Amino acid sequence: MRLEYFQMIDRIVDADRGARRLRAACTIPTESTIFEGHFPGYPLMPGVLLTECMAQTTGWLICMLGDFSAMPFLAGIKEAKFRTLVFPGDALEFEGGIVHEGSGYTIAECKGLRDGAKVCDAELTFRIRPYPSPEFRRAFFEWGRRLNLPVPEFAK
Amino acid sequence: MPDSTTFDKVAEIIAETCDIPRENIKPESHATRDLEIDSLDFLDIAFAIDKAFGIKLPLEQWTQEVNDGKATTDQYFVLKNLSSQIDQLVAAKGA
């Protein structure tokens, strides 16, 4: 995880197109300027950043299912719950799934786990919009591939 | 005329989703102009309608038609017309 670059996911662990589910893994860094403020002497992973982990996990799932034909933009968060404290160095896994694919939007659900125990969960709404440019789309695709997203070919 | 129960269901969804008093929601109401529902809230409404009726409101197609000048927003977002569109989508699903 590269917190300062908002790159929350280290790798995709499993992606199931048929079940429309994806698992992603990441490790919270032991050091970050974020922990200097949140909180001095008691570093904790902020809940809003766990939400971003859930958004990126389900975002990659939507990208995969749509073969990178359009880009998901986070538009809403519902029922976000942070069930326990998460600390620097913790290894997390996020499991995302699709609740509903609408026209121009997708509703997804995601939960975060540490050693199999749920640490957070939420329902996320994404608007589905065109990529800002073909170059950006290509770069996004390559980023997904580096994370192990199973997208064998770049569809033009 | 659309099935009145369709309008009633839509009105209930809007009332609950957007916290608008049910009595303010009329068949002639325009979702954005009269009820001031923005596009993000309309996504929640679309999700609830999709679930309730087992359909997929073609929002992207409607938006494109409006942007291209081929349709007016009244055709899709005045609630009696929206209800009629829902009835057609439900009928097409069962055909």
Full set of structural domains in chain A with CATH: 7-146 (3.10.129.10)
Q: Average pLDDT, stretch A128-134?
A: 96
Burial (Cβ within 10 Å: 0-12, 13-18, ≥19) of residue B25: buried
Model confidence pLDDT, tens digit, residues B19-59: 999 999 999 999 999 999 999 999 999 999 999 999 999 99
List of E strands, A19-90: 21-27, 71-82
B4-94 belongs to CATH 2.60.40.3500: no
Q: Average pLDDT, stretch A117-123?
A: 98
**Domain residue extents for chain B:** 4-94
Among A100, A101, A104, the residue with its CB nearest the CB of B51 is A100
**CA separation, residue B5 to residues B33, B53, B56, B80 (Å):** 23, 12, 19, 11
Q: Which residues of B touch A125 (CB under 8 A)?
A: 43-44, 47
A-B Cβ pairs (cutoff 8 Å, strict): 35
Q: Which residues of B touch A103 (CB under 8 A)?
A: 46, 56-61
A38 is annotated as an active-site residue: yes
Among A101, A103, A125, the residue with its CB nearest the CB of B57 is A103
Q: What is the pLDDT at residue B4?
A: 61
What 8-state DSSP symbol labels residue A143?
A: H
Confidence of residue A64 (pLDDT cuts 50, 70, 90): very high
Model confidence pLDDT, tens digit, residues A81-110: 999 999 999 999 999 999 999 999 999 999
CB neighbours of A76 closer than 8 A, spacing ≥ 6? A124, A125, B40, B43, B44
CA–CA separation, B46 and A75 (whole Å)? 14
Extract the tokens encoding B17. 């989703």
Pick the residue from chain B with its C-alpha nearest to A102: B56
